[in-house]
Amino acid sequence: MSTYHHGHLREALVAAAVELGREKGPDGIVIREVARRTGVSHNAAYRHFADRDELLREVATYGMDQLSATMLKRVRRVRVTDPVERARRRLREVGKAYVEYALAEPGLFAVAFYPVTLPDLSGPYQLLTDALDECLEAGFMSAEKRPGAELPCWAGVHGFSLLYGSGPMRDVPRRQRDADLAQLLDRIEDSLRA
């Protein structure tokens, strides 16, 4: 059971809900259990959240923020100076980071894409958009291929994350999974290349 400082109950409730989401996914986030872990009555929790959906949305936002941070960290590690190669590698790192987060945090990833919670996707989506725009500006991608390129890129890594995270490919050894991800990213690159 965690404790909280007076005046910070909402933050403590969200922190407990994040841990439940991390452990059990969206079905594990129950206001009574969040309140119990925080050391308050469930009535106290309801003073801060109208319903479970509102609490789930808070956890989803946290998850998306963490996904964005993971993506940004990987993008910033790309240090090559050639503009085309830098753009190509940054796009790959966006995809790798997405899968990395989904596999490392399956519970929070599931909360983030739970039907009632779908939060603002602007962070991860903007990072993908920026990477694609950089590919266009550097000449890696032609202008004709740029419109709508976010959808196949996102769908590819999201589908991969589900297949290898909780789906039928979940038991594939890491080495094979990494090779499969590299192949997927190669195919995405091939479809975008000018």
The CATH number assigned to the domain holding 8 equals 1.10.10.60
- pLDDT for res 87: 98
Structure confidence by residue, pLDDT tens digits, 172-183: 999 999 999 999
**Exposure string for 167-185, b = 16+ CB within 10 A, e = fewer:** eeeeeeeeeebeeebeebb
Sorted by sequence, the CB contacts under 8 Å of residue 55 that are 6+ apart come out as: 13, 14, 17, 29, 31, 34, 45, 49
Inside any domain, residue 187 = yes
Are residues 59 and 101 in contact, defined by beta-carbon separation less than 8 angstroms? no
Tokens standing for residue 66: 């963490």
Inside any domain, residue 54 = no
Domain count along the chain: 2
User: Are 130 and 163 part of one and the same domain?
Assistant: yes
As a whole number of angstroms, the distance between CA 171 and CA 182 comes to: 18
Are residues 9 and 44 in contact, defined by beta-carbon separation less than 8 angstroms? yes
Sorted by sequence, the CB contacts under 8 Å of residue 103 that are 6+ apart come out as: 161, 164, 165
User: Are 65 and 16 part of one and the same domain?
Assistant: no
Inside any domain, residue 55 = no
| Residue 187, number of CB atoms within 10 A of its CB | 12
As a whole number of angstroms, the distance between CA 114 and CA 73 comes to: 25
User: Are 122 and 69 part of one and the same domain?
Assistant: yes
Q: pTM of the predicted model, to two decimals?
A: 0.90
Give mean pLDDT, residues 113-124. Answer: 73
Of 4-8, 70-74, 151-155, give the lowest mean pLDDT range.
Answer: 4-8
User: Are 91 and 147 part of one and the same domain?
Assistant: yes
- pLDDT for res 117: 60
As a whole number of angstroms, the distance between CA 148 and CA 36 comes to: 46
- pLDDT for res 1: 47
- pLDDT for res 122: 76
User: Are 73 and 156 part of one and the same domain?
Assistant: yes
Structure confidence by residue, pLDDT tens digits, 38-66: 999 888 888 899 899 999 999 999 999 99
Question: Domain of 98?
Answer: 60-192
Of 9-18, 92-101, 106-115, give the lowest mean pLDDT range.
Answer: 106-115
